[in-house]
Chains A and B, each alone.
Chain A
């Protein structure tokens, strides 16, 4: 276990328990070429937490998100998310696992040829929700993210902030236990960035565990949430009400 991680856990007084929703135990990931992307990482996140994961490029943030999505398998270590053992999960069970996970990306990743309504409804069609339920749920979630009036618009007709709201609505419509946001404000101006973060905070207050990977120093420092800082594949700091740690190199 990395020294810094022991320090972080001691500081936060974390213990592995049944209220943990994300558990990484001694997780390493090495790609075929180059240095290991993650090196002996331990991370424990409880239900209902709001956690920032920060770090420079190459720190291992993206690899961690890919591991949590089960897009990648660790080279060694254990990953458990919502009771799913992501090292041993069968390929056929991965869709069911992902349905409990809301995902938001920096580049929104909306289906460009479908309108706002269909983009959000798509997440419900995947879980075979009946049409009448979809017709009830989608307008309701669009109202939550403030896009009730734009359900007919195509993604290209929306601003960046609006597209990210659609992505958040899509991530939330199936009422996931966890919301993973990978640089959700990376393509947005400060005003839209704040609005999106406020929305994520509101979602967290309603009981969803929120994990945000970001570069946005201002937001991290202002929101006073748990901050996990990564550098060169290890967790160098894990603070309960932390701030963005500058690179000392």
Chain B
């Protein structure tokens, strides 16, 4: 392709955008609305997952040992637990630490009456899981380990969180699928209307001897630009709104901040920005190619 033809094609693509203002606006609005919903849903999903994940991280299993067990054996059991793939990390609480914690929490000023540690046999491991769905398997394993007296777990919480996580994944997949089906329908309709207006122009070009590539290129450039703008606008809105909503929640419901861990906007955008841009430009590219193709057989 000649350099002058290249620039001519780009110029025609840009001119098309301004020449068909209503078509351009309708297309940008359609792509923008779909990508806004996509971005919104993605942001909510990321936060819910983050909250579930942090809740999972707080679920622990406590392992208590047989009376009179040696420190060496406790260390050995600790090493065995650390090796398990479902374990995120462990914390050893010695008998003295357990007593100190108990005294502070429950006895207050009455704690002076004790000269010996009544929780002498209460050294334990707190085990935090990388994946809470593996909790039952780990518990079964731990109960079989020699020297382990008792394994305490919170089965209901673990099962609930696993269920919630799976439910959210299914719902999000479903909504994203519906969203894409709707957006493909809307965009294809918008592009079809836009092309119908220019059918005559395409026919003239073909009669004069324009190649399919020459006819198609300005439309493709137009489509990609509309797609890019259609992606940038909702991204901008989401960026501003997200920060404001986060600020609102953190100031109005400050007690939630300890319970819930929100994802910073930068983390959300690290993936949302390239994905949205790719979807916007991709829809513009494919939409224009497919729709122009119908009219090229002249």
Contact = CB atoms under 8 A, between A and B. Distances in A.
Do A and B come from the same complex?
yes
Interface of A: 69, 71, 92, 95-99, 101, 103, 109-111, 113, 122-123, 125-128, 130-131, 170, 174
Interface stretch (B52-60, B96-104, B198-206): B198-206
Contacts of A101: 209
Contacts of B209: 95-99, 101, 123, 126-127, 174
Interface of B: 1-2, 4-5, 8, 19, 200-201, 203-212, 214, 298
Most chain A CB within 10 A, of B200, B210, B298, is at: B210
Given A69-B207, A98-B208, A109-B207, A128 B200 contact: no
A113 B19 contact: yes
Nearest to B2: A128
Contacts of A71: 298
A69 B203 CA distance: 12
B208 A103 contact: yes
A48 B208 CA distance: 21
A109 B204 contact: yes
12 contacts: A69-B207, A71-B298, A92-B211, A95-B206, A98-B206, A111-B204, A113-B19, A122-B205, A122-B208, A125-B5, A126-B214, A170-B208
Q: Interface on chain B toward A: helix, strand, loop, or mixed SS?
A: helix
A95 B210 contact: yes
Nearest to B208: A123
B49 to A, nearest CB: 50
Given A128-B5, A130-B4, A109 B200 contact: yes
Nearest to B297: A91
A127 B212 CA distance: 13
A183 B164 CA distance: 73
A113 B197 CA distance: 12
Query: What 9 pairs across the A-B complex have the smallest Cβ distances?
Result: A98-B209, A99-B209, A95-B211, A126-B210, A95-B209, A128-B2, A109-B204, A128-B5, A131-B4
A122 B201 CA distance: 12
Most chain A CB within 10 A, of B5, B200, B208, B209, is at: B208
Contacts of A131: 4
Contacts of A69: 207
B165 to A, nearest CB: 53
Most chain B CB within 10 A, of A110, A122, A126, is at: A126
B8 A125 contact: yes
B207 A103 contact: yes
Contacts of A123: 208-209
A98 B207 contact: yes
A85 B201 CA distance: 27
B215 to A, nearest CB: 9
A97 B206 CA distance: 11
Contacts of B214: 95, 126
Contacts of B4: 128, 130-131
Contacts of B211: 92, 95, 126
Contacts of A96: 209
Nearest to B210: A126
A98 B203 CA distance: 13
Contacts of A170: 208
A143 to B, nearest CB: 21
Contacts of B201: 111
Contacts of B19: 113
